[in-house]
Each structure stands twice: as C-alpha cells, then as structure tokens.
Amino acid sequence: MPLPTSASALDAATPASRDRLIDLVRGASIVVVVLGHWTMAAFVRDLGGGVRLRNVLEVEAWAHPLTWVLQVMPLFFLAAGFTNHLALTRPRATVAAFIAGRVERVLRPTIVFGAIWLVGANIAIALGAPADLLTTGARAAAMVLWFLAVYVMITLLAPLQLRLHQRHPWLLLATLPVVTLLLDRLQGTSWALLGYLSYATVFIFCAELGYLYAEGRLAELSRRAWGAVSAGAIATLVLLMVVGPYPVSMIGLPGQTTSNMMPPSVCVIVVAILQTALVMIARPWLLRWLDRPRVWASVVAINVSVMTLFLWHLTALILVAAVALGPLKVALPLVGSGAWWIHKIGWIAASAALTFVLVAIFARAERLPARAAARPGILSGLGGLIAAIGLTMLACSGFVDPWTPGGIALGGVQFRPGVGALLVLLGWALTRWPTPPSSDLARH
C-alpha cells in the first residue's frame, strides 16, 4: 500500500496501537551505525603508496567509552525481538510465513547489492582501476553482511525462543549472560571457533528484552528503577574492564587479546541493559515527540528504506574515496589530527549525499511488498540457514575474485565470494513462494 504523501495524513493513518518508539529505535540505531562507520573509517597510504583502511579508534582512546552508547546493535535486536514477538503471536501466524517474510525482506535488497558489487568491482579492476583500493573497498562494503547473517539466524531461532519465553519468561535473561561469559573464555584458545556461538547468546538476549517490552513488562518499572539499572550497568562495565580481560571499546580493534564484538562478549549484554534502561527512562518524552506528524514522518521515511541505507552507506564512502584519492588527489592528514577531523566533516557530507542518491536508486527492491511462504516451515528454515551461511562467507571474503579464497579467515578457512553468493541465491529460492502481498504500514 502506498504511504500517505503528507506528514499529517501519515500520522492519521498510523494505527493507535502501533508502538512508535520501536520504529524510532530501529531507524535511529541504523543511522547511528552509518554515522559511526563514516566517522571511524580512516584511509591511509602505506609505504608503497597503496591505500588501506584503519579505524580512528586505534589512535583515539578517549573515544572508547563513547562506544557504550554508540554501539547500538543491541537496540536494533531489541526492536527485532519486539517485531518477532508481534509477528509470531498474530492470529493465523505460521512459522513458514514468518521466516520466509523476514528472510525475503533481508535478501531481496541484499542480492541486488551483492550482484552489483561482484560484477562491478571485477569489471573495474579488469579495466585498470586500482586493485588495492577496490579490494579494500570491496571487503569493507561486504562487512555489513555479517550483521545480516546474524539477523537471519536470530529470525530462524525466534519461534523456539518465543516458545521457551512463554513457558519461562525470565530463563534466558538469567542464563545467557552466564553462557556468554563461559564462551568468552574460549577466545584465543584452540576452541575459539566455538566462542562464535556468542553471536547467538548475546543477540538472543537482546531480542528477549524486546519480547519483554512487547508484553509490557519493561514499562512496569519506574524511571527511578531504570536509573538504578543504568547505574548498575555502568558499574558492571567498569568492573569487567578493570578486573576482567575486557577492553573499553565495544568496537573490535587490532591488537586486542579479547574482543567485545568479534565475537560479542558479555560486555555487550551489559551494554544492552544500559541502553535499554536509557531508552526506557526517555520513553515518555520520546513518545510525546513521536506524536508530532513531521517527526513521525521522518521516522517512517528512514524505516521504509532502512535496509537499503545500511547496505549502501559504506559503498558511498568507498566511491567518495575512489574519487578523492584518485582524480582529485586529496591529501590524507595524520589520522586523529586536527586536520584529519576537519577533513572528516567533508568526507561525511559527501558520503551522505551519495548515499541519498544510492538509496533513491535501489530502495525499490526493499519497498516491494514481501510475500509469505506456502512451503513447509522446515524448507523455509533450511533456506534461511543456507542464506545465513552464504552471507557469512561474503562478509569474510568480500567481492573481488569470486572464485579465489581470500579475506578474513574463519576457523582457519577462507571463502570464495562466488560460492557465498550462490548459497544466498539458493537460500532465497527455498524460502520464497508467491502469495498475495499485504500492507506493511499497519504492522511491524
């Protein structure tokens, strides 16, 4: 169904039962991720004149505590848990339709994105474009896919999570931090690959917070109680970093013996609690703010293209870098210097402008109505699992040299981008089955 064209009409068309805060959390979390990636990205030249990508947090230690509120993936998965709960408890809801609908919403714009990168990057290199910049850019652009792989896996587990949650509402909140703490101990050992299970334990915990919010349980606590929760979370983080082996930054950085994000540690669970507490403290004010038609229209505008925005924002940065470091020969100041931060304003502005253009071009793939599944739930689940594996392979390998292993090794294994792409296509085919489309406005 087309969205109303005016802010007031959109506001009037939105059901009173819709929790606008969840839309704000979802959209704002992706916007923060986008701005964070643009800000942290630092292109540098090596001694041979080649270009590589660093993270400004490597030299700006003062900014590490800011990641406690700016690493907002926990909030995105809280919003995902909320919408999963609503979708699965809706009358006549089926597991097959739920999984197929969620997976299709992820894969349809992702397939367009991956196809353009796989073809475009390799054609550009064949025509003489700088291979080092394109390889760096292709691997950076592909890294957004790890998040989508995790999202698909959480989606596949959602029906089981809901069943367990309905029987034991507080069990997962009590046990998952302990399990994650044990998995943390595997980092840097011969069992390190098993530690990647924390992607499930940490983000299922975040989704569980969304389940509790959907049932109204989180809103039962007073703002004063949430203030105490936030203070306790901060104290716990400080303790974990002073006494334990955990770094301050919630972003993985080179040289860390223990990572808070690759894979996620128990610190991310504590950050999820902190961020949830802050949102709940601000909730009454935020809900009043969201009642303003123009504010609500802006939130809807972001959400209807949120996947496209997330997929293409690093591509925009890479294209800006290709022009700036190629034809324009822009100088690269010392990372973290005053000149670097001044330059960064221009880089962000140029990336934002180009991202706007890319979203305008490619958002149609996301905005087409999703179709439910008419196939058995087991087939939809298998398709989702295959797609998640393919997304992981692409995230590790990038898009250059489709049939050559390369990129980040996972468990000592490097992957071929072409194989990952084929698995994504196969997973999408297994979950997709045409049925009449339905409106996305009246439901999360």
Question: Strand, coil or helix: what is 281?
Answer: helix
Question: Strand, coil or helix: what is 91?
Answer: coil
Neighbours of 328 (CB within 10 A): 10
Provide the pLDDT for residue 442: 37
Beta strands in 308-423 (DSSP E): 406-410, 413-415
Q: Are 407 and 82 in contact (CB under 8 A)?
A: no
Average confidence (pLDDT) over 31-55 = 88
Question: Strand, coil or helix: what is 370?
Answer: coil
Q: Please state, in angstroms and rounded to a whole number, the distance separating the CA atoms of residues 56 and 123.
A: 31
Identify the CA nearest to 248 among candidates 257, 235, 238.
Answer: 238
> Which stretch of 155-164, 172-181, 314-323, 427-436 has the lowest confidence by average pLDDT?
427-436
Average confidence (pLDDT) over 104-129 = 89
Residues near 131 by Cβ (< 8 Å), separated by ≥ 6?
A: 125, 400
Q: Are 118 and 417 in contact (CB under 8 A)?
A: yes
Does the pLDDT value for residue 251 go beyond 50? yes
Provide the pLDDT for residue 81: 96
Q: Please state, in angstroms and rounded to a whole number, the distance separating the CA atoms of residues 393 and 142.
A: 10
Question: Tens digits of per-residue pLDDT, 159-180?
Answer: 999 999 999 999 999 999 999 9
Q: Please state, in angstroms and rounded to a whole number, the distance separating the CA atoms of residues 65 and 116.
A: 37
H-helix or E-strand containing 143?
none
Average confidence (pLDDT) over 218-235 = 96
pLDDT level of residue 4 (50, 70, 90 thresholds):
low
Please confirm whether the linkage preceding 263 is cis (ω < 30° from 0).
yes
Does the pLDDT value for residue 436 go beyond 50? no
pLDDT level of residue 433 (50, 70, 90 thresholds):
low
Q: Which residue has the higher pLDDT, 380 or 438?
A: 380
Q: Are 428 and 387 in contact (CB under 8 A)?
A: yes
Which H, E and C letters describe 65-116, residue by residue? HHHHHHCCHHHHHHHHHHHHHHHHCCCCCCHHHHHHHHHHHHHHHHHHHHHH
**Backbone φ, ψ for residue 293 (5° rounding):** -55, -40
Provide the pLDDT for residue 149: 95
Q: Please state, in angstroms and rounded to a whole number, the distance separating the CA atoms of residues 378 and 92.
A: 18
**How many Cα neighbours within 13 Å face the side chain of 20?**
23
Question: Dmax over Cα atoms in the chain, in whole Å?
Answer: 63
Q: Are 29 and 306 in contact (CB under 8 A)?
A: no
Question: Tens digits of per-residue pLDDT, 14-30?
Answer: 888 899 999 999 999 99
What percent of the chain is predicted at pLDDT more than 90?
Answer: 66
Average confidence (pLDDT) over 382-391 = 94
Does the pLDDT value for residue 140 go beyond 80? yes
The total number of residues written for the chain in this structure:
444
